[in-house]
Structure 1
Amino acid sequence: MKTERRYDIDWLRVIAIGLLLIYHIAIIFQPWAMFIGFIKSDESLESLWKPMTMLNVWRIPLLFYVSGMGLYFAMRKRNWRQLLLERAKRILLPFLFGIVAITTLHMFIFQEYYNMPLGYFPHQGHLWFLGNIFVYVLLLLPFFYYLKKNGNGKIKRVLLWLMSHPGGPLLVSLFFVLEVLLVKPSLFALYAQTWHGFVIGFLAFFFGFLFVYSGKTFWQTVLKWRWLYIGLAVVMFGIRYFNYATEAPGYLTAIESNCWIFGVFGLGYKYLNKPSKILTYLSQAAYPVYIIHMFVLYAGAMFILPLEIPILLKFVGIVAFTVLACYLIYEFMIKRIGFLKPLFGLKWKSNNAKKLMKMYNLKIKDSSN
């Protein structure tokens, strides 16, 4: 079954990972950075955190939504065994490799920066996201394949009806409200390796799949009502910022989070659903960059923070260092060294290998003729 390529979803994944880099670098300049395992600047740039408080309630849920959507597209031409094998290669292998070989690198840099005894500590670190995704795939695969086999069933018809109204997507927020009322997270944006992060990720992954499964109806709704969702998000962020010092009750933040995301989906569908060479490159690079970015930005912080330059230049310098170093590592190591590709979530067979296989098959056909 042939379906159109959704370039806007690819763009949103790239943008979300780019924002993640900026967000993590901004943490370095907050007075509490060291308490969550980040290298901390002696000078604070707390004004930088103001826009981050808007971003941090929807950046991770957005990635989970997009991941659920990606699973829908991955299922189109695969049975459940093929899909599990493909997800194990693309998610589980980089996750396990990252625990033993990647997260330990930024821990070494952290220890070196603070003159601590060097020790080897395998841990999930920022890769907890991958572990969650793989568990969601295992848990939801039977139901998703049931939906695939019943493409015009009652569930599909109910979804089409719900998603045809502007309030349909907003009803999804009720599940996120229920999550925060039951799990009661201390901070809404505290996702990493918490039950709150696991459940909210599960919900976003699940509904991300359902949104794409429902067809164009959802996308036409968020396209038409995108400014309504963004307007609601802005109002709720204003209430959270001015009335609650950025930490509003979880049920309000859950609704705000989804309003931002639905608005972003609408904007992406209108402006980003077009192919480009830049997108082709960035969409392939985004996953490996996500895996390596933490130890790269720690290295940048180690070299740049001691410099006697204005603090804003330090921030800009670490951003530039991280982007450039990630590009060089991806372009000249991960992308070009065959055995590294699967360890960073890239396809096992290179384009050159595919070309050789085609040439080989053509030769066999010619010889048989």
Structure 2
Amino acid sequence: MTTERRYDIDWLRVIAIGLLLIYHIAIIFQPWAMFIGFIRSDEPLETLWGPMTMLNVWRIPLLFYVSGMGLYFAMRKRNWQQLLTERSKRILLPFVFGIIAIAPLHIFIFQKYYKMPMGYFPNSGHLWFLGNIFVYVLLLLPLFFYLKKKEEGRFKKALSSFMSNPVGPLSISVFFILEELLVNPAIFELYAQTWHGFFLGLLAFFFGFLFVYSGKAFWQTILKWRWLYLALAVVLYTIRLTVFEMQSPGYLMVIESNSWILGVFGFGYKYLNRPSATLSYLSQAAYPVYIIHMFVLYAGAMIILPLEMPPVLKFIAIIAFTGAGCYLIYEFIIRRMGVLRPLFGLKWKFNKTEKTYKLS
């Protein structure tokens, strides 16, 4: 297996989680926010939804792809027992802890903001993603280790050859189109705790693994054709925005989603595949921040929404509050307390010279 370090994939995980925070904050300023359990601003900013719906068709699938890639890199130095143990510690433990102690916090804030009776409700909330990933690991690990043993075989050679032309990577959209047709989701972008989200995530996780498994041919292809993928995504988004009022037919949503993702991978491979001190810090922080961001965000909304200021400034202020709050909690509590670190997916021991977080 290749030992090449892939800093661009670390960067894409960090960027995707940053976009997730902004996306969730934007929901607060949509008229329908309360229908999905978000605190709602009385002064909506519906213009935010144009760019947010562009993100929404690929931001979560991107994380599933990256997670599948991460599993490939983790397998370089672990057998299946070691890998399953490591994934249980890194994914299952934070998931269970989050259900009990983290996700209920933003529900408390929601209840307090709307003066509802206070109640404790253990739930996965936004951490549903972790539950899905752990199930995918359990389901696909036997197949992945089989493929690992056959890295010099005909399948990998054929896969590498297939990925060496621009149609190859995009052709996997056929499987996503079949998923969309069979599951027939009411809303394509509704991934959380739905069968559509589960099967779409499973496909993205699987093909993320296969993309890296196929070798350099995939990366050379998306590097060469990144502008083509980006242009196709922009065209399909424009059609969705102007012709279909945000909801294109499922097959077009699938192709748009994968076009964005392949373009992002191509540009990331060209410009982000290098180490930096910033990446070293952010890649460690991204996972704990993902876990805690919702209750920090809700706390910011509770404090800032009642203030007398234009809604745009409220949006910016909640972003700043969430970013600062997550940083302070991570830096001065989670990162430095050994007993808390594994509950947020970090190693037990705090090391001030921690190196760039590896995909494993």
* Bin for the TM-score computed over the shorter chain: over 0.9
- Specify the alignment match of 1:162 in structure 2: 162
Instruction: Return the alpha-carbon distance in structure 1 between the equivalents of residues 5 and 353 of structure 2.
Output: 24
**1:112-151 deviation digits (Å, cap 9, x = unpaired):** 0000000000011000000000000000000000011111
1:237 is aligned to 2:228: no
Q: Which amino acid aligns with 1:58?
A: W
Structure 2: tracts of 5 or more residues without a match: 355-360
Match of 2:261 in 1: 261
Question: Secondary structure in 2 aligned to 1:14?
Answer: helix
Which residue does 2:88 correspond to in 1? 88
Residue 275 of structure 1 corresponds to 275
Contact 2:28/2:40 (8 A) holds in 1: yes
Task: Let me know the Cα RMSD of the aligned residues.
Answer: 1.1
Q: Could you tell me which residue of structure 1 aligns to residue 358 of structure 2?
A: none
Q: Higher helix share goes to which structure? A: 1
One-letter amino acid of the structure 2 residue matched with residue 256 of structure 1: E
Deviation at 1:227, TM superposition (A): 0.4
The letter of the residue matching 1:91 is I
Correspondence for 1:39: 39
Query: How much has 1:351 moved relative to structure 2?
Result: 2.8
Indicate the SS of the match to 2:348: coil
TM-score, with structure 2 as normaliser: 0.97
Moved more, 342-351 or 136-145: 342-351
What are the Cα deviations for residues 40-81 of structure 1, in whole angstroms up to 9, with x where unaligned?
Answer: 000100001110010000000000000000000111100000
Give the match's secondary structure for 1:181: helix
Partner of 1:11: 11
CA distance in 1, matches of 2:40, 2:352: 44
Partner of 1:284: 284
Partner of 1:319: 319
For residues 266 and 246 of structure 1, the distance between their equivalents in structure 2, rounded to whole angstroms, comes to 26
Runs of at least 4 residues of structure 1 off by over 6 A?
none
On the 8 A contact 2:180/2:196 being kept in 1, the answer is yes
Give the superposition deviation at 1:167: 0.2
* 8 Å contact kept, 2:336–2:350: no
Matched, 1:100 2:100: yes
In the aligned structure 1, how far is the partner of 2:348 from the partner of 2:175? 38
Query: Secondary structure of 2:339's partner?
Result: helix
Q: 2:23 touches 2:52 (CA, 8 Å); kept in 1?
A: yes
2:21, 2:316 → 1: CA distance?
A: 12
Q: Which consecutive unaligned segments of at least 5 residues does structure 1 have?
A: 355-369
2:159 is aligned with 1:135: no
2:357 aligns with: none
Paired AA for residue 282 in structure 1: L
Provide the residue aligned with 2:296 in structure 1: 296
Name the % identity.
Answer: 75
Alignment of 1:141-152 (within 5 A): 141-152=141-152
Q: Tell me if the contact between 2:95 and 2:131 (Cα under 8 Å) persists in the aligned partners.
A: yes
Greater RCO (Cα-Cα under 8 Å, separation 6 or more): 2
Counting only pairs closer than 5 Å after superposition, residues 102-251 of structure 1 correspond to structure 2 as: 102-251=102-251
Larger Rg: 1
